[in-house]
Amino acid sequence: MMEFKDRAQQEAEERAVIMGEADKYFAQIDPKTSNGQLLMQAVDAPEISQFIVQRLESIEDSGDLFGKDEQLNTWYDQQIEAGNIKAPTSPVDKQRWLALMGIAASKKEGFSYGNVLIVPDYLPNDSDELQEYESVYGVGVIEDILRRREALKK
């Protein structure tokens, strides 16, 4: 019984951290609902979290990049258009939001996402934290994330 309680507590703590990240790193999406709540509403829908994780597994198997997966990006845009997911409107922030959703869905579904997604994938370009991750992942990884974001602006 104690193990179950510890796991439930750990999951609750992980959710709280992710919700906090959504509130901290993204401009308010809906004035009536916190970003963290919007993110979790989407991820709590099994069809959404399972599809995201399925695509992340496929991306990992193929060695592709998270932001370049056409099937995931098309589905994501369709979900936003249908009102199933509320997300930022700028292309860069939408991609960052999808990265955070991917991490949240992976944690929910028990997928080890580290080969496909990393925290810098959702951090804003101007955040101090993004630069701090250079020592963890290397300058090249951070520069690649910034290049992909720059390409989204065009």
Does residue 24 sit within a domain?
Answer: yes
Evaluated on CA atoms 77, 79, 100, 30, the torsion sign reads positive
Instruction: Tell me what the mean pLDDT of segment 120-141 comes to.
Output: 93
> CA 154, CA 148: separation in Å to the nearest integer?
10
Per-residue pLDDT at 5 exceeds 70: no
What value does the mean pLDDT of the chain take?
A: 92
Do 98 and 87 touch, CB atoms closer than 8 A? yes
In a domain, 148, yes or no: no
pLDDT value for 66: 84
Dist CA 117 CA 93 (whole Å): 15
Q: How many CB atoms lie within 10 A of CB 37?
A: 15
Asked, for residue 45, whether it belongs to a domain, the answer is yes
Task: Tell me the sheet residues that pair with 33.
Answer: 30
Contacts 24+ apart (CB under 8 A), 65-72: 65/148, 66/99, 66/102, 66/116, 66/117, 66/121, 67/95, 67/99, 67/121, 67/148, 67/152, 68/148, 72/98
Establish if 37 belongs to a structural domain: yes
Total structural domains within the chain: 1
Residue 4 has pLDDT above 80, yes or no: no
Residue 2: pLDDT over 60: no
CB 66 within 8 A of CB 56: yes
Calculate mean pLDDT across residues 13-22: 95
Answer whether residue 139 is part of any domain. no
Assess if residue 75 is contained within a domain.
yes
Q: Is 122 a domain residue?
A: no
Residue 6 lies in a domain: yes
Q: How many residues does the chain have?
A: 154
Q: How far apart are CA 77 and CA 139, in angstroms?
A: 30
- Give the mean pLDDT of 137-153: 93
Q: What is the pTM of this model?
A: 0.92
What range does the domain containing 62 cover? 2-116
pLDDT of residue 11: 84
